[in-house]
Structures are given as C-alpha cells and as structure tokens.
Amino acid sequence: MKISLKWLKSYVQLDASVDEICRAITFLGFEVEQVIRTGAPQLENVFVGEILTRAKHPNADKLSVCTVDVGSAGGVKTIVCGAPNCDAGNRVPVALPGAVLPGDFTIKQAKVRGQLSDGMMCSAKELTISDEAAGLLVLSGSPALGTPINAVLPAGDVVFDIEVTPNRPDCLSHLGIARELSAWFKQDLNYPEVTFTPNAADPAPREDLLKSVRVEAEHDCPLYTATVITGVKIGPSPSWMQERLKAVGLRPINNVVDISNFVLLEYGQPTHAFDAKKIGGQEIIVRHAIDGEKIVTLDGKERVLNSHMLVIADATKPLVVAGVMGGENSGVDDSTTDLVLESAYFRRQSIRTTSRKLVLSSDSSYRYERGVDPHSLEEATHRALDLILEIAGGKVAGQTLRIGADVPWQREILVTPGFINEKIGFEIPEADIRAALESLELSIVREEPTPERGPAMTVSIPSWRDDLDRPIDLVEEVLRVYGTERIPVSVVQAPGLVGDDDPIVLFNRKVTDQLVGQRFHECVNYTLRPQKELQAWASPTAVAELALANPFVEDQSHLRSSLIPGLLETLKLNQSRGVSVSRLFETGRVFVERDGANFECVAVAFVIAENPADRSWLKREATDFYAAKSLATLLASAAGVDLSRQQLQPVTQAHRGWQEGQAAVAGEMQNGWFAALGLVDLAMVKSLGLEGKVHAGVFAILPEKLAAGGAHRRYQPFSLFPAALRDIALVVDQTVLASEVQKTLAKLARAATGNAFSLETIEVFDVYQGTGLAEGKKSLGFSLVFRSSERTLTDDEVNVAFQKVQDELAKTTPYQIRK
Amino acid sequence: MQDQLTALLAKAQAELATLKQRPEFEAAKARYVGPNGELTALMKQMGSVPKEQKPVIGKLINETKGQLQTLLDAALRQIETAELQAQLGPAIDPTLPSPDSGAGTSHPLTLVREEMCRILRKVGFTVVEGPEVETEYYCFDALNTPADHPARDAQDTFYFPDSAKFGNVSKKNHHEKYLLRTHTSSVQIRTMLKGKPPIRIVSPGRVYRRDTSDATHSANFHQLECLYVDKNVTVRDLKALLDYIFASLLGKDTKTRFRPHYFGYTEPSFEVDLSAKHLPKVNKEWIEIGGCGMVDPTVFEGVGYDSTVWSGYAFGMGLERLAMLLYGIDDIRYFYQNDVRFLKQFA
C-alpha cells in the first residue's frame, strides 16, 4: 500500500528525516518495500533568474551565451545554454556554482567551448519534477528574482510502499499509519474536522430519488447505509486532492469519485456513489446474485456472477459487485446531479470469495477482505459528505437510510506492567508502558494496585483494533512502541540435552556419511513428479493414489514413489551438460502404496552410471549387481536390517523400472521396509536419453520402524580348535537360487554333525556353467567349515558326517554331486 | 679328497649364482647336499680315509658343508628377491590421476542443515522429524490459522483428494484433508502432543507451497524451526538464541534485529533481519532471514498445555535462503539441478 508523506503530515507533525520515518515504520511492524520520491528535491544555490540577453555562441552553432539576472542572489551572470527556449524575458531556474542537482551533479564555473559560464539554467527534468527535457522550465507568475527555487516549485513528496500485515486492516489508511507514527514520534494525532451532523428531524429521501433500501442478505451485509445528495456539480476535483491521489498511484476521475477514493485512503473505509437517476425503480436491493447473472464492471469487463456473490442491485439489475467493483451502468458521470452515497459493512469472507472467484481485486475489496471497522463507518461517511458538499456542492436530501445495526463496541483488557515485563524478560518502566499504550489510543480507564506486579490497568480497546483481545496482545503493542531494537543482549541459557536426535536423523546421517565416504555425490530432487515418470516405476493403483488434488503444474502432479527417477534425471542433466558423473545418491521421503493406502517412508537411493563416453587412462572393472548388493546391504544395516539374512528375490514384471534377470528385491514392505537393487531397465534408461548402463539401489523403511538404538549385543564364545574344511559342488537347475541350495545343504550338514561338533560356516566359492554341464544346469561350489568347541576333529569323524550329507543329498534333493 | 672338495665348492659357486627359478634351485640343492648328493657321496668315502687324516678331512668336509650352505642361502635369497620383484608392475607415475572418482560430497543444503543442528544441539536442542504429508489440523488448526485464512486456500496449498489414505500419518479429526505441509511447524504440534514440557527441539524438513518456480521460489523447499517450551521463557531469551545462532554460523560480526510482525501462532511475533556484510554478494545492510515469536497461548491450550504455566518461543527460517546467503548462491534452482560442478564446491 502506498502512503504519501505529505498526506501523513496533515494528521501528524513529522519533522524527522525520510530515513528516520522509514525506520519508524519498519520497527512499528510494517515492511517498507520501496521509498519513492516525487517532485523537486531540496536544492541549494538554485534561484529564480531572468534571461536579459541571448547571443549565439561564437564557437558552437547550437549554444547560446546569455546574461541572466538572479537579483539578490548575485546580480547578472553570464551563462552558456543549449536549450532552444533561452529567450530574453524568460524567468527560469538558475543553478549557480556550488549547487548540487539530482544525480549528484555539482555545478561549477566552467569554460564551455572557450566561453566562461557562471552556472546552468535548468529544465524540469534536470530538477526531477517532470520528464520534460525539451527546454528550460519557464516559471510562470513572475516570481521575484533571486528567490530560492524550492519556494517557487511545488514541493516534492515521498511515498512509502508499505506492506501491512493481515492483522492490521486499520493501517490500510493514512490515518492508521499516522496514528502509528504519532505514537513513535510522540506527537499528537490530528483527525480531520468532520462537521456534518445528521438531523434526526429530516424526512426520508424523496421517492423519486430513492424509494427504498432492502437487504436480502443480512448475513453477508450486516449494515448498509445510503444517503441522498442532490444538486451536485460533477467536475474535476481540486488540485490538492488530485495531487494526493496521484502520489499514491490513483488516477483522478471526477470530484465525487475522487472524494470516495480519498476517504478510502484516509480512513480505510470504502464508500460508493451512485447516480440516483441510474437506479432502476429507485430501489436498492442488497442480495446474492442469480447464477449466471452478468454485470459489466468499471474496468469494462463482463463478469458472470453466481449465487454466492453479493451484489447491490436495483429493481431489475445488479449495479455493483458489492464491496469489489461498481458497474459501468450506475457510475457517476458528468451529467450526474443527484447522488446516492453508499457506506456499508460486508462480511469479509463473502468479499474474499467473490474477489477470488472473479479474479478481481480493488482497493475496496482488499480492505473488506481484511476487515473494515463497522464502527468507523459513520464518521467516514460524514467526512465524505463534508467533502462532497464542499467540493461538488449540493445538499443532503433527507435522512440517511440505514439497514442493519452497528452492534455497540466495547472491549477492555486487564494487564499489569509486571506481566508485560515477565513476558519480554526485561524491564520497561511503568511510565513508558503507559505512554506506549496511550499513544496508540489504548486508554487506561481504570487502575487498581496489585501486590507484586504494579497497577492492574484496564485498557480500553478502540473499535479499529479488533486484533487486540488478550493481555499478551498488549505486550506486543508496548514492545513495538518502546522499540524492539532496545531488547537487551544476553546469553542463551542452555540445560543439558533432554533426548537424542530422531532415529530418522540418525539414519540419514549414517547413510550420508557412508555414501559420501564411498565417493557418491548427494543430490536433492523435487518430491513432486510427473505422472508419466511415476507410471514407469509404480503400479497403476499406486499412481492413482499418489496424485495431488490440485497440482500447480502438470509435471509436478504426483508424490514420488522412488528416489531413483530423480537421480536418473540428475544423471541426464549432467551428461547433457558434458559433466562427467557416475555415483549419485539422495536421502528423502518416498511414498509407497500398499493395499490402497499410502505410506510415507524414509528412503535412501544411489545410482552408479557407466557412461562409455567417459574415458580413463587406467581401466577399472565394470560395476555389477553384486557391487549394488554390497552397498544396499550397507544402507539397510544403518536401519538395523541385515540384508544378508534376507531372501533377495529376482525382480518380476511387477517390479517396474528394473531389468529382469539383473535386479532383485527384498522386504516388499512385509515388515515395513523394502530394498531393490541391480540394473535399471535398459530400455527405460535409453528412452531417457542416458548413455550407458545404470546400476542402482534403494532402501526404504517406515519411520516408525526405525527404532532408536540397536539391540543389546552379547559376546558369543568362539572355538580355538582347528577347523576341518570340506568342499562340495552341486549341479542344479540354472533357475534355482544359491541361497535355497545353501539352506538345504546347511540343514543336512547340521543334521549330520548332530551334537558332536558343528558346521561353523558355509559359503559359495564357485559358480560354473558351460562345458561339461548339461544345458540349463549350473554348478555351485560350497565350502563347509566344521569345528568343535571342545577338541580337534579327526578326519574320520568329519568324513563320516560329510558322507552322510552326500547320501542325504542324493536321497532327498534333486541336486547332483559334481565329481 | 681335498681336491675333490675344492672342485665341488668351485662348481657350486659357479652354478648356484646363475640359478633363477626355485625348481632349479631345489634340484641343485639335492645334487649338492641331498641324500644322493655329491657332498653326501664324498662324506661316505670317509670310511676309506686313513685314520690319521680323518680329523683333517672331517674338518674340511664340515667347512665345505658350511660354505655350500652359505652359497645355497645366498642363491635362495636371490631367487626370493627375484620372485618378489616379479610381482611388481612397472614403476608408478605419481602424477597420473586416480581413475576412481574423487571424493564424495554432501549437498550444500545438508551441510547447512547439519551445521545448524550442530549449533543448536550445543544449546540443548534435539533434532526431531515429522511427516511431510500432513493434515489440516496439524498444519493449520493447531497453529491458530482460521478456517478462512488465505494460506489454507487450494490456491496456495497442495491437497490430496478426499479419498486419499495415508496409513502412517495420523489424523486428528476424521473429516480433515491430507495436504503437503506448508511449514515444519506441524512437527511442533506433534511433538507437543506426544511429549511434556520442557521441550527444546529443532525440526528441519521439506515443505511445499503452490508457487511459481523462479530464482527465489521453488515448489518444495526446506525449513528449519526451533521450539522451546518451559517456564518463564521471554522475548529476551529468543533474541539471545538468534544472536547465538547467527554469530556461530556466520561469524561474530553478524548482527540480528527484530521487526514486529504477525504470525497466527506467535504473539508477539517478529521478523528477523541479519546484518552480515562480510558475506559474499551481500550488498544490503539488513537481510530478512526468518520469523519468530513467543508461542501464542491459543496454541498451548490447543495441545493441552496450561498457558499460564508454560511459555515458549518458536523460530523458523528457510534453509535454501540461508545457504544462498552463506555461499553467495543467486538462484534457488541450482540446489535442485544437482550439476556436479555445483555439488563439488561445498564439501
């Protein structure tokens, strides 16, 4: 909102500099977004002068040499001038040596093409009072020679563009801001003198002007008033008013419209003037619009209304979108002689809905939305009437018609200086507390002593301060006026930590440290993803469940179900920029659909890309599934999940995004977590425009499954006797998983050893397929380690057990022992 | 005999020095000192040596045996050295680059977040987390945001369809909608409802606004909030915390100031400005960095805390904004593009 300093000064004496006023506004709680200066700045050494003679410059075609009389400021000077209108007899601004013109341009005595010049005659643009640069500013009205120029030029103004917080609708006006500044600078606030007084004995307005006012929507319009003024003369508003409106960015229209705008910006109270002739049937009806009803608003656009929108209508048609904008058909024009002045209180939610729905905002709707004080309505109306009668003439014809009631306002808050000081943590003297409250017109109406906290003050809250309701609200008022810059410096009082960080935080830290240590770069990608991308990674049900109701842009319409697509996007971006990149990771939330419900999971994922275009003088082995497995195992262990003890299953078609036969999954959310790892679908990687293969891995877990702290560990004794090793190779179908075979083998080995000794470990040491084996078969070599905790094993007893294993294998399994 | 021994020694000396392989060596060793070796054969001739010469010859044989062993040891050492040497490749060039990628890096947002958490942990704050999908109650109602507040509009906040179900995000009221949290303040509510005062937490996390993306706005960004609830917490304490945080993070020359402001969940409320002209690309005296205030009594009552007993403060700020300030980054989108040339700069 724009606030003019000149305008403010008509209510409060402000001698401070613009910077100080800016600071005051800032510390009162209003952000100053911009300070705009208009008109002539304060200029030293610039005077009124008259050109006495003009002669052509001997050395320059376009220059003239003039003699200029600046009277008492120094007599006759010789000045070289390039302006076309430096004719004898013109009185113009003359900047003498020492003057500093806007733009830090210092005037000095100087030679111009060999001719001495004692100063400079100025254009309007050079003085920044307008953009007129074609010639010298010729001063009208023969001002006395030697008069300082600021005495002749219209004074400039300073306009503050201020952001008013939503709790302070009272400050969407010059009086509101003036009140704040009066408190800050400890100056009186001078309200405009309002003289209009309604006469209770007046009759109702003439029926040919305004027969009736009816409010059919009392809920959205609790108070409506209409006053008839007859015999006005429409014309331009006075220049002082135009100047003020222009300063804050409004275009003057005519005297009546300008007055309405002026009062709006003065009091923050919207009013609206109708041409009485244009009110059909001389009836005003405040009602909801009919669905589909149309109105052409003052901005020339046709608006289609609906039944939630409030309109001011006549007998046949809507005249105004209530509180938002008037219609073209009912406004005041040059031929208007009789007015109906509307002042009303509309419910803010109603105006807000309408304004949003129509995408139409105005100074009026902006204020109604934030809350207009219904109790100030009458005073503002009277102010408008005063100005109309004074400026446009005419007279008020009959009683103001008033529908609805102004519920009397009364609010008091009880507060003590002790309470205020307890809340702020330092002492503001009682006298300063009183002064701060009173300066904001928060009058202390009663006081009673309390034993410890100073006097209990009953503070009366004015009607425009609906935001003040509790003692704590007054703490802020006092602190604002006292000055937040005066809060004393102190040291943080810190007790010991009361708890550990969230398990999610600990998990993220751990996996981040591990992956950074493994030469991965951490990425951060957007959570909201395009539908198409999600379809490549999640089931159709999940895609449907993860959709937002109101996406902002099409390519950010769904929650991510995986971190990998974002990492692939990052790979692509880097590749396309010619930046070599291979190892990336991300931590963050993903959303997993299961049985029709979504679950927010904590996740970590990595990618390892091998771009054939990346060259190196020394070749490394290509990465593979098992490298991804090792990393995924590491990440899962950070969450307390031992992936080496979990059954990893090859991916199926249901696991979107992965290359069949080259990737695996585990967990599948059965216990609140899942892991997936391996080669990313080759076709998809290619379709993304990525070069080379990408291996990836992801681990995700429900936050509630990330228990704080690990399980208690206990020492397990281990044997110091030597081990006995036996190897065995089994020929099995290629599709059989090693883990299955190992499990069977381990079971048989344990059965064979019984309680005599134990199978300590069993490991795959060889996988073979090809020559010597039947088609579709593979050989798995296992190494078994037997050990006793009590003695050295003899070859014989191990052989007996091992033979038993082989016999059982032959008897109970389809596996063949490879000789 | 003596000549034979001398000849044997000379032959061994010549032969053993030329041996390169272990099998050759083993064969040679057997030939000289093995059970069927030449020295053994000579020793067997001791029986035919006249008695008076025996001590002399015996001594000579022993000496020869010792010398042979020395020669064998030397030959073996030579072979072992050659074997080790054979394991080596050509000499390295220490100036060639490693073909393995360079060090990994944490994202600048992670670095700033962790640094802030570290600073706050020193003064008793523990780090908490909460869901990014939230409900109207935790994101708005409990924070004293009226039902008709513009921030709740579908124009500004991402909502999920009424039918959406989130299995592990609890609702307070059956009919309320799921949404993407617009601030991390919802974590404060969840923490207060779950625990008991005193509370001293910091909640960093991702938040969402329905906003156009440009150099300073992003569809999701990150916030970091502090909440302190205890008896007799004051505005002065709040100011002390902010002075401490920013002096720790940005250096002792950093100043903060409070400007009165308005937030529904704090009273009084302030915006926090920083003065840190020593940072790169800072050309303004004061830079807005976050919002704060004393927890509004309505918020306390809403979570069942007696506002006449408990008081507290809350502070929140954008992590991207802080990282941009700290590192002199001028476009928020760089954080989400992850150009590796960008990522490598902050480790």
Q: Decide if A487 and B128 are in contact by the 8 Å CB cutoff.
A: no
Q: In what order do the strands lie in the sheet with A325-326?
A: A212-215, A283-288, A310-313, A318-321, A325-326
Task: Let me know whether A460 and A564 are in one domain.
Answer: no
Say if residue A180 is in the same domain as residue A221: no
Q: Which of B124, B155, B164 sits opposite A545 (nearest CB)?
A: B164
What is the model's pLDDT at position A105? 87
Percent of residues, chain B, with pLDDT higher than 90: 66
- Which letter does DSSP use for residue A69 in this model? E
CATH of the domain at A628: 3.30.930.10
Chain A residues whose beta carbon lies within 8 Å of the beta carbon of residue B289: none
Partners of A163 in the β-ladder:
A31
Is B169 part of the contact surface with chain A (CB cutoff 8 Å)?
yes
Distance from the Cα of B85 to chain A's closest Cα (Å) equals 22
From chain A, pick out residues whose CB is under 8 angstroms from the CB of B339. 573-574, 577, 579
> Which chain B residues are Cβ-neighbours of A610 within 8 angstroms?
none
A-chain CB neighbours of B197 within 8 Å are none
DSSP state letter for A210: -
Question: Could you tell me the two tokens for B142?
Answer: 């409990």
Query: Are residues A107 and A162 both part of a single domain?
Result: no
Among residues 156-215 of chain A, which lie with CB inside 8 Å of chain B? 165-168
pLDDT score recorded for residue A152:
85
Of residues B225, B228, B223, the one with CA closest to residue B319: B223
Nearest to A426 among B109, B236, B341 (CB): B236
Percent over 70 (pLDDT), chain A: 99
Q: Model confidence over A432-460: pLDDT tens digits? A: 999 999 999 999 999 999 988 999 999 99
For A597, the enclosing helix (H) or strand (E) is strand A597-610
Q: Is residue A349 within 8 angstroms of chain B, CB to CB?
A: yes
Q: What is the mean pLDDT of chain B?
A: 92
Nearest CA in chain A to B212: A552
Shortest CA gap A672–chain B (Å): 11
The DSSP code for A155 is B
Q: Which of A164, A501, A557 to mutate to probe the B interface, most B CBs <10 Å?
A: A501
Same domain for A313 and A246: yes
Are B109 and A524 a contacting pair at CB < 8 A?
yes
Least confident of A9-18, A150-159, A274-283, A567-576: A150-159
Give yes or no for A430 touching B (CB within 8 A).
no
**Region for residue B197 given its phi and psi (left: phi exceeds 0; alpha: psi -120 to 50; beta: otherwise):** beta
Which among A497, A559, A600 is the nearest to B121, CB-wise? A497
What residues form DSSP beta bridges with B84? none
- Does A556 touch chain B if contact means CB atoms closer than 8 Å? yes
Please tell me the distance in Å from A648's CA to the nearest CA on chain B: 26
Give the minimum alpha-carbon distance from B22 to chain A in angstroms, rounded to a whole number.
Answer: 29
Show the domain range for A468.
412-486
CB atoms within 10 A of CB A263: 25
Taking a contact as any Cβ pair under 8 Å apart, which residues of chain B between 170 and 229 contact chain A? 180, 198, 200, 206, 208, 210-212, 219-220
Over residues A382-392, the pLDDT tens digits come to 999 999 999 99
Question: Is A469 an interface residue toward B (CB < 8 Å)?
Answer: no
Same-domain status, A740 and A665:
no
Q: How far, in Å, CA of A53 to CA of A58, rounded?
A: 15
B69: closest CA of chain A, how far (Å): 36
Distance (Å) from the alpha carbon of B165 to chain A's nearest alpha carbon: 5
Q: How many domains does chain A divide into? A: 6
Check CB contact of A703 with chain B, cutoff 8 Å.
Answer: yes
The verdict on residue A556 lying in a domain is yes
Q: Which two tokens stand for residue B172?
A: 């307070």
Single out the residue of B318, B317, B345 nearest to residue B332, CA to CA: B318
Instruction: Take residue A596 and report the two structure tokens written for it.
Output: 């029709």
Contact A600 B164 (CB under 8 A): no
DSSP B70-137: HHHHHHHHHHHHHHHHHH--SPP-TTSPPSS----B--HHHHHHHHHHHHHHHTT-EE----SEEEHH
CA A513 to chain B, closest CA, distance in angstroms equals 8
Confidence of residue B183 (pLDDT cuts 50, 70, 90): very high
Mean pLDDT of A464-477: 96
pLDDT tens digit string along A150-164?
Answer: 888 877 889 999 999
Say which range, A67-76, A517-526, A787-796, has the weakest mean pLDDT.
Answer: A67-76
The whole-chain average pLDDT of chain A stands at 93
Who contacts B214 (Cβ-Cβ below 8 Å, separation ≥6)? none
Within an 8 Å CB–CB cutoff, is residue A473 touching chain B?
Answer: yes
- Domain segments of chain B as ranges: 2-86, 108-343
What burial class does residue A307 get, using C-beta atoms within 10 Å of its C-beta: 0-12 exposed, 13-18 middle, 19+ buried? exposed
Asked if residue A496 belongs to a domain, the reply is no
pLDDT at residue B2 above 70?
A: yes
Same domain for A660 and A583, yes or no, is yes
Instruction: List, for residues A298-351, the tens digit of each pLDDT value.
Output: 999 999 999 999 999 999 999 999 999 999 888 899 999 999 999 999 999 999
pLDDT band at B4 (very low <50, low <70, confident <90, very high): confident
Residues A557 and A583 in one domain: yes
Across the interface, of A476, A499, A619, the residue whose CB is closest to B268 is A476
* Any B CB within 8 A of A578 CB: no
Is A671 in the B-facing interface, judged by CB distances under 8 Å?
no
Cross-chain residue pair B240–A491, CB shorter than 8 Å: yes
Q: How far is CA A320 from the centre of its chain?
A: 32
Q: Does one domain contain both A400 and A449?
A: no
Which positions 99-128 of B are in contact with A (Cβ < 8 Å)?
Answer: 99-107, 109-110, 114, 117, 121-124, 126-128
Q: Is the pLDDT of residue A38 over 90?
A: no
Please spell the DSSP secondary structure of A278-329, one letter per residue: GSGGGEEEEEEPPTT-EEEBTTS-EEE--TTSEEEE-SSSEEEETTTEEBTT
Q: Is B308 on the interface with A (CB under 8 A)?
A: no
List the CATH number of the domain containing A267: 3.50.40.10
Of A349, A480, A600, Cβ closest to residue B132: A600
Range of weakest confidence among A72-81, A259-268, A677-686, B275-284 = B275-284
The answer on A656 and A519 residing in a single domain is yes
8 Å CB contact of A600 and B169: yes
Name which of A473, A500, A559 is nearest B126 (Cβ-Cβ).
Answer: A500
Shortest distance between the Cα of B60 and any Cα of chain A, in A, equals: 47
Residue A709, pLDDT above cutoff 60: no
- A523 and B219 in contact by Cβ < 8 A? no
**Model confidence at A497, in pLDDT bands (50, 70, 90)?**
low
- C-alpha dist (Å) from residue A267 to A170, A195, A542, A597: 8, 16, 55, 54
List, in sequence order, the alpha helices (H) in B164-304.
185-194, 235-250, 297-302
Tokens for A581, please give them: 């990149």
Judged against a pLDDT cut of 90, whether residue B33 lies above it is answered with no
Q: What mean pLDDT comes out for the span A511-516?
A: 97
Residue B333 tokens read as: 């989108």
Percent of chain A whose predicted confidence (pLDDT) is above 90: 81
Of B174, B165, B191, B178, nearest to A599 (Cα)?
Answer: B165
- Mean pLDDT score, A45-74: 91
Structure tokens at A320: 């105004």
- pLDDT score of A711: 67
Pair A811, A695 in one domain: no
CA distance A685 to A195: 80
Superfamily of domain B108-343: Bira Bifunctional Protein; Domain 2 (3.30.930.10)
In chain A, positions 23-82, which contact chain B (CB-CB < 8 Å)? Answer: 26-29, 31
Q: What is the mean pLDDT of residues A226-246?
A: 94
- Select the residue of B114, B168, B336 nearest A600 (Cβ to Cβ): B168
A29: CATH:
3.30.56.10
Best of A475, A598, A616 to disrupt the B interface (most B CBs within 10 Å) is A598
- 3-state DSSP helix/strand/coil % of chain B, to nearest 5: 45, 20, 35
The tens digit of pLDDT for each residue in A614-670 reads: 888 988 889 999 999 999 999 999 999 999 888 899 999 989 999 999 999 999 999
Asked whether the predicted pLDDT for residue A710 surpasses 70, the reply is no
A739, pLDDT greater than 80: yes
Within 8 A of B121 by CB-CB distance, chain A residues are 497, 501
Question: Is the pLDDT higher at A616 or at A522?
Answer: A522
Instruction: Decide: B36 and B44 in contact? Cβ < 8 Å.
Output: no
The answer to whether B206 contacts A596, with C-beta atoms less than 8 Å apart, is: no
Residue of A nearest to B235 (CA): A424
Distance CA A677, CA A603 (A): 13
b/e A648-678 (16+ beta carbons within 10 angstroms → b):
beebeeebbbbbeebbbbbbebeebbbbbbb
The residue-averaged pLDDT of A478-490 equals 96
pLDDT confidence of residue A552:
94
Q: Are residues A21 and A62 in the same domain?
A: no
Indicate whether A676 and A809 sit together in one domain. Answer: no
Q: Which amino acid is at A334?
A: D
Element (H, E) at A261: helix A255-267
Nearest to A484 among B97, B258, B337 (CB): B258
Residues in chain A: 819
- Count interface pairs A-B at CB distance under 8 A: 250
* A148: preceding bond cis by omega (within 30 degrees): no
